[in-house]
Amino acid sequence: MKLSFLSIVLALASICSAATFESLGKPCRGFNVLATRVIKAPDGKEYFVLSNSNETTGVELIFIDFAANTAKKFVAPAGQGAWLLNPVPGDRLVVGTYYDGNLMIFDLKKMEFVKAMRFEKEEYFWNGAIGGDGRLYGGTYPGAKLAALDLNTYAIEDCGAPAAPNLYCRNVSATPDGRLLCNFVTEKQVTKLYDPKTKKWSDVPAALKNVQRAVVWNGYLLAASGWDGEKPKGPVAFRGENFEPVDPPPFATPSGKEWNVDLFMTTPRALFIRQGTAIWRFDDAVGATPASPSSTSTDGVAGVGPAEKGKLTKIFDQDLKSGAITAIASDGTLLGVRGQDYLVARKGETTAKLLPIPVEASPRPMHWIRADNDGRLWAGPQFGQTILSVDLASGKASNTGIVCNAGGEVYDAAFKDGKVYLVSYVGGDIVEYDPRAPWQQMEGKNPRTIAHLTTKGYIRPVGGVVLGPDGKLYSGWMAKYGSYGGAIAITDTKSGETKLIENPLGEQAINGLAVNGDLIYAATSLHGNGLPEKPNEKPQFGVIERATGKVLYQQPLAGEASKMIFDAKTNRAIVLSGGHLLFFDAKERKFVDPPAPGKDLPAVRDLALDGLGDGRIWFGSGSSVIALDLMSGAIKKFEAPASVDKLSVAKDGAVFVASGPELFRMKPQEAK
């Protein structure tokens, strides 16, 4: 039959029901630090500055006095977060934002934001570099443009987008002669040069084609690891107008396993090298000549030519997992960030102390919410890789540290035997957490990653996770950056062994997932990481045999799926597609009319759909919570205090609603 996309808002005034929504506060708190810098204020004091993203307050600059372990927070006038954070002449910081593509000026003398400039229709600024003309250059998304900010007039010039169809100008690096090396991704990676003198683009020499990011040191251009962590291929050092490779490099290097130039700490006069968990500093390198490939010292350092006066010193060695040392103060103090903590290693210390970021984290919206049916509600923010729980008896909220060793965020949770199972972007992690046991994440004990899908090509769990009747986890995934596709992951909670059903409905992301009996119900979207919406295809719905992965039924959808649940009592899969509810009869294997004859259901907010399998579903529309009886078609509407962004139903009938950063509970007796 033809699918009914039910778009007309139902006049439900006659069947409105009264309900009391109890506020549980704004429990979701956490930092998501995207960039750091050590800056010296006009009064001579040095600060470790963090660019912290927050969906509620907007961009925050956190100035940490690392000598005193105190901090101040400054809220920006634009942006949700900022990757671009550059000190510039005149005691200023330039901050480049997402999702509104602003360049903002923070005045270090006044200690306040003084200017914000929007750049056309661009949404993201990534990183920035000063060109030979003194302007600050930054790369953007989704136009993959290079923008130039005049630091005197604050005018922004569009320098073009020479690398279509890429959406990202992801990395911008200055060269020794003032040109800009620009790396474009993710459809067809390419690196280009922009000359501020001529305002023209050119191709790079062959030796630079695989260089994504670089830094200037001692007149050389040095290749660093890519934004995706990929190590440079081929020569690392280049000199002259034509970027002639210098191999071996003109500095001493650690012997043994591979190393790479540190992009963030290296300056034109100071060189830092990373090797595994260690950081090395190369000192007094003026006039250095290329390393001699035939000589080796006895202290673990590759030999250097006779004209070199440099010395390579190991200054740090500690496995920080997903943390990193990112800056060095003038007195040699090393500084960095790991999740909700900042890192400090005083000069002479080769390991860091983890200290809580010394300001209160601001409230954040919840990316997802789930009741565990054991007296707690779980949730997590967009970005930051943390989760929180609310004790529903006391109302007390607890926010955790990072749950896995990757950036990104948790997308969903499932529960088994008192443990919480999480699925997370960007590392493709499936994580087990036991809230009854001590927190030992950094030790890899609790929480711990039991499966890691990045190596298999899947990074974003847009389909969420559910517990199957066999006790295994079923999760839906989107493929890695630059690739279309999706997979259903089936994970054994004890061994972590994971079976993938890849692209069962075509090369599309698995956005909706439900499991009942021997069958998996899946629905897709056309989105891809770093890619435009997939052309010339429609989203799909399908029924898949759980044991074999065989597709038993498949049908295109008019709109992409965003969530799916299964109601066991009526044997129906309920699909949220294009903001509207579709009802699939599992016995008849066909979509059927909604259970409210003659009534059109209102549009449903993405992810604001849940049910207990008891013949009734709950969903959010605008600022209303709506209960739909799948047997009789009866509808009850409850007016919530604010928009219903996320929704979860507990076994006792309590309905939980997330509205921005605030969490509400509709009491059980009023939800029945």
**Strands 190-195 and 180-185, how do they pair?**
antiparallel
- Asked whether the beta carbons of 119 and 101 are under 8 A apart, the reply is yes
| pLDDT band of 283, cuts 50, 70, 90 | confident
C-alpha dihedral sign at 239, 240, 243, 245: negative
Q: Give the Cβ contact number of residue 313 at 10 Å.
A: 13
pLDDT for the residue numbered 292:
31
| pLDDT band of 373, cuts 50, 70, 90 | confident
Q: CA 140 to CA 124: how far, in whole Å? A: 5
Q: pLDDT (tens digit, 9 = 90+) per residue, 352-365?
A: 999 999 999 999 99
pLDDT for the residue numbered 294:
28
| pLDDT band of 12, cuts 50, 70, 90 | very low
pLDDT for the residue numbered 596:
72
Q: What percent of the chain has pLDDT over 90?
A: 86
| pLDDT band of 662, cuts 50, 70, 90 | very high
- Asked whether the beta carbons of 485 and 476 are under 8 A apart, the reply is no
The full set of domain ranges for the chain reads 13-25+363-671
Residue with tokens 């690398």: 163
pLDDT for the residue numbered 298:
28
**112 or 257: whose pLDDT is higher?**
112
Residue with tokens 């200290």: 355
pLDDT for the residue numbered 262:
97
Close Cβ partners of 509 (under 8 Å, ≥ 6 residues apart): 460, 462, 463, 476, 477, 478, 479, 484, 485, 486, 524, 525, 526, 527, 528
Q: What percent of the chain has pLDDT over 70?
A: 92
| pLDDT band of 15, cuts 50, 70, 90 | low
Close Cβ partners of 60 (under 8 Å, ≥ 6 residues apart): 51, 52, 53, 54, 73, 74, 75, 76, 362
Q: pLDDT (tens digit, 9 = 90+) per residue, 286-340?
A: 444 433 322 223 233 333 333 345 789 999 999 999 999 999 999 999 999 999 9
**595 or 73: whose pLDDT is higher?**
73
Adjacent-strand bridge partners of 581 = 576
- Asked whether the beta carbons of 645 and 658 are under 8 A apart, the reply is yes
**Rounded to whole angstroms, what are the CA distances from 238 to 200, 241, 252?**
22, 9, 16
* 13-25+363-671 CATH choice from 2.130.10.10, 3.40.47.10, 1.10.150.120, 3.30.365.10: 2.130.10.10
pLDDT for the residue numbered 365:
97
pLDDT for the residue numbered 474:
98
pLDDT for the residue numbered 598:
58
**Rounded to whole angstroms, what are the CA distances from 362 to 55, 110, 632, 638, 646?**
9, 23, 45, 30, 20
Average pLDDT of the chain is 92
Q: pLDDT (tens digit, 9 = 90+) per residue, 97-137?
A: 999 999 999 999 999 999 999 999 999 999 999 999 999 99
- Asked whether the beta carbons of 238 and 207 are under 8 A apart, the reply is yes
Q: Is the pLDDT of residue 203 over 90?
A: yes
Q: Is the pLDDT of residue 670 over 90?
A: no
Q: CA 312 to CA 297: how far, in whole Å? A: 11
| pLDDT band of 256, cuts 50, 70, 90 | confident
Q: Which pTM value belongs to this model? A: 0.88
pLDDT for the residue numbered 16:
58
- Please give the single-letter amino acid code of residue 29: R
